[in-house]
A and B are shown apart, each in its own frame.
Chain A
Amino acid sequence: MQLADAPPHLSARGISKRFGGVQALRGVDFEVARGEVMALVGDNGAGKSTLMKILAGAHGADAGEFLLDGKPVSIDSPRDAVSLGIQVVYQDLALCGNLDVAANLSLGSEPVKEGWAFLPRILRPLDDLAMEIEARRAIEKLEVRTLRSVRAKVGGLSGGQRQAIAIARAVGGDSTVLLLDEPTAALGVAQTRQVLDVVKRLRETNHAVVYISHNMRDVFEVSDRICVLRHGGNVATWRASETSPDEIVLAMTSGMERSGRNAS
């Protein structure tokens, strides 16, 4: 039953994963389309994080297949995932607090000036102006309005701003799929609002966004569809506009099958 307006950009079929004696995922189906925010919810131990790590290539799946725009692909390593345009923002954000915003956004892929070919790349002069322009472009694209300067040290920013910068870094390059792991977990009200605005911007920039969260209010505010996992298996997928937080919570906790309203 295909109710999504757009065809899925990334889909995973029958994903299973076992850790020792624990069957973390048993034949899970999952998909996300471009320009869509797909929430992934479930109780602790439901398999959300495992599924996310498999999509990111951090874990290999024991069984199952991946399709990108309908074509079968393999995701066996983080490098595979990145080359397919899949980026993750983990909860710890992986930013360097002692560096400024521009440096963090280009971390690991710093532009260097031309004309220094006699030096190994690692010793060529950084093109910090290009870095700054690129950073400003990325920040403006996500409309992070509270950020005053891309030369501010990340360590001095608010939690919401840091989350936005981590997202901006993941968006940079050619990524099309963004996996966000509990992006608002440690944030206050105003900060959460800022991050949710950024997530909504990602939908407008035609990214496929996977949004993992415990917070029903946030989930219902940003997501188009909601996929519920329980005990490592699918419960169902709903359109956010056609369900309610109570129904989702019930599905998370007791796994009631509502096949009639299933939107996957």
Chain B
Amino acid sequence: MRPDAPPSPLDRFRALLDTRLGSFLPVLFALAAIWLYFGLARPMFDVAVGTEDEFRSIFLSPRNIHNLFMQSAVIATLAVGITVALLLGEIDLSAAATAGVCAALLGVLVLAGIPGWIACLTVIAVGVVMGTAQGLLVAYVGIPSFVVTLAGLLGYQGLMQKILPTGNLNVGDPFVRGFARVLIPDFWGVVLGLGCVAAYAYFAFRKRARRAALGLERESAVALWGQVLAFSTIVLAVILTLNAYRSLPLLLVLLVGITALLGWVTTSTPFGRSLFAAGGNAESARRAGFKVRRVRAAAFGVVGMMAAVGGIFGASRYGSVSYTAFAGGSLLLEAIGAAVIGGTSLFGGRGSVWNAILGALVIGSLGNGLDLTGASAADKLMVSGAILILAVAIDALTRPEAAGG
């Protein structure tokens, strides 16, 4: 029951965030603000006070953007997985430790002479098992996911130390290193981007035509062209910027590809619908006939899979596996932070895997920018904390009061 008063600004904001594109706005705004600060404001400030002789934006140089994307890629991979758990209203604190175990296992396997692709598939399977095991405990034993995955975090950290007694292992396998090293030639990168834009436009307009044929409400053509334009601008800007330094790395293509697949599964299949339904109102979902327990266990399996992929990507990018880079470092909090900053609700039922990638870019940009300006590790931690609080505050404020129905 709600009085028919004119909507307050908060209501309007909520309604905006509920639309598919509107949910990107806060994180895009945060990203733009960070980039403007480090890319324009900071260098101009330096010129004004005389610490620099001329305006130079190191932050927005193609080389740094390339680094930024690669730095954010591992965070993004984990964040995409964690988003799936968050959609259910669950949390996974063990993702980074799972990634560490998988990366360490990968290092040991390729060192033992097992072909890279077999090793990769093996660790992905291991990651799925590690995640699903926790999911079964959450779903069937009824332990809160916070506790299960906290135990998982500790246990998997220990497991990683068992696998890597020295805490460090170099990974030289060409297949594994290939993810980060293989570059898509400039020309084919642009072709790939144009292909994505064409596919986006084709599907958007085909859907609109079908809706029109069935007499359903539909978006205006102008709005649709606007979306296509925005999409193509972002895609081509990214690809051309990366080409200006080195070219599009295979790792980023794979990350976007996996995210697209997961994005499709979470929004356009009965499984995805059950994720959102159970995240919004688990009892309703159960009564509607969804097997909520199975869905919960499967969601943690997906988190485990993405953690394993993140482990592979990390090993590929660093050329080594170390305890501090995965299980023992800041990766976990960065990944959860990325998912939440992206706009996925901690309360369940609201969010998207694409937002996680943008959230990871926010976290990555902050770290990178603060590094460039010579900020201390302490400053980085404090700024990251402030951004995270801001994101969670937006989440709490925009949460519909009546989550049930």
Contact = CB atoms under 8 A, between A and B. Distances in A.
B284 A123 contact: no
Contacts of B56: none
Interface residues of B, number: 37
A156 interface: yes
A166 B281 CA distance: 14
B269 A123 contact: yes
Interface of A: 92-99, 103-104, 107-110, 112, 121-126, 128-129, 132-133, 136, 149, 151, 153-156, 158-160, 162, 166, 186-188, 191
A187 B289 contact: no
A92 B216 CA distance: 30
B288 A94 contact: yes
B280 A129 contact: no
* 10 interchain residue pairs of minimum CB distance: A95-B405, A108-B288, A108-B289, A98-B280, A98-B349, A96-B280, A107-B288, A94-B284, A159-B1, A155-B400
A136 B211 CA distance: 13
A98 B284 contact: no
Interface stretch (B145-153, B270-278, B325-333): B270-278
A103 B289 contact: no
Given A125-B268, A158-B2, 6 more contacts: A93-B405, A98-B279, A107-B273, A107-B277, A122-B274, A156-B15
Contacts of A107: 273, 277, 284-285, 288, 290
B405 A97 contact: yes
Nearest to A133: B214
Contacts of B281: 94-98
Contact of B273 (A126, A129, A149): A126
B344 to A, nearest CB: 12
A153 B276 contact: no
Interface string B262-302: 00110011110110110111011101111000000000000
Given A122-B269, A156-B400, A159-B1, A104 B214 contact: no
Nearest to B274: A122
A155 B403 contact: yes
B270 A154 contact: no
18 contacts: A92-B405, A94-B405, A95-B281, A96-B284, A97-B280, A98-B400, A99-B273, A107-B284, A108-B289, A121-B270, A122-B269, A123-B270, A125-B264, A125-B268, A133-B214, A156-B15, A159-B1, A188-B1
Interface of B: 1-2, 14-15, 18, 210-211, 214, 216-217, 264-265, 268-271, 273-274, 276-277, 279-281, 283-285, 287-290, 349-350, 400, 402-405
Nearest to A188: B1
B405 A129 contact: no
Contacts of A154: 405
B246 to A, nearest CB: 36
A97 B277 contact: no
Contacts, number: 115
B216 A99 contact: no
A188 B280 CA distance: 25
A67 B281 CA distance: 35
B74 to A, nearest CB: 27
Among B285, B403, B404, B405, max chain A CB count under 10 A is at B405
Given A129-B216, A158-B1, A110 B270 contact: yes
A92 to B, nearest CB: 7
Contacts of B274: 122
Contacts of B403: 97-98, 155
Nearest to A159: B1
Contact of B1 (A95, A98, A186): A186
Nearest to B277: A96
| Chain A CB within 10 Å, residue with most, of B217, B277, B281, B283 | B281
A124 B265 CA distance: 9
B18 A129 contact: no
Contact of B290 (A108, A151, A166): A108
A158 B284 CA distance: 18
A123 B211 CA distance: 23
B321 to A, nearest CB: 32
Given A94-B405, A133-B216, A187-B1, A124 B350 contact: no
A99 B280 contact: yes
Contacts of B273: 99, 103, 107, 110, 126
Contacts of B18: 153, 156
Contact of B402 (A123, A149, A155, A191): A155
A107 B405 CA distance: 13
B358 to A, nearest CB: 20
B283 A94 contact: yes
A159 B2 CA distance: 7
A257 B366 CA distance: 78
A142 B2 CA distance: 22
Contacts of B217: 149, 151
A185 B290 CA distance: 28
Contacts of B284: 93-96, 107
B277 A126 contact: no
Given A98-B279, A98-B280, A121-B270, A155 B210 contact: no
B84 to A, nearest CB: 14
Contacts of A98: 276, 279-281, 349-350, 400, 403
A133 B264 CA distance: 22
Contacts of A188: 1
A95 B405 CA distance: 5
Given A123-B265, A155-B400, A166 B285 contact: no
Nearest to B267: A126
A193 to B, nearest CB: 13
B362 to A, nearest CB: 24
A99 to B, nearest CB: 6
A104 B270 contact: no
B217 to A, nearest CB: 6
A109 B405 contact: no
Nearest to A191: B1
Contacts of A93: 284, 404-405
A126 B277 CA distance: 14
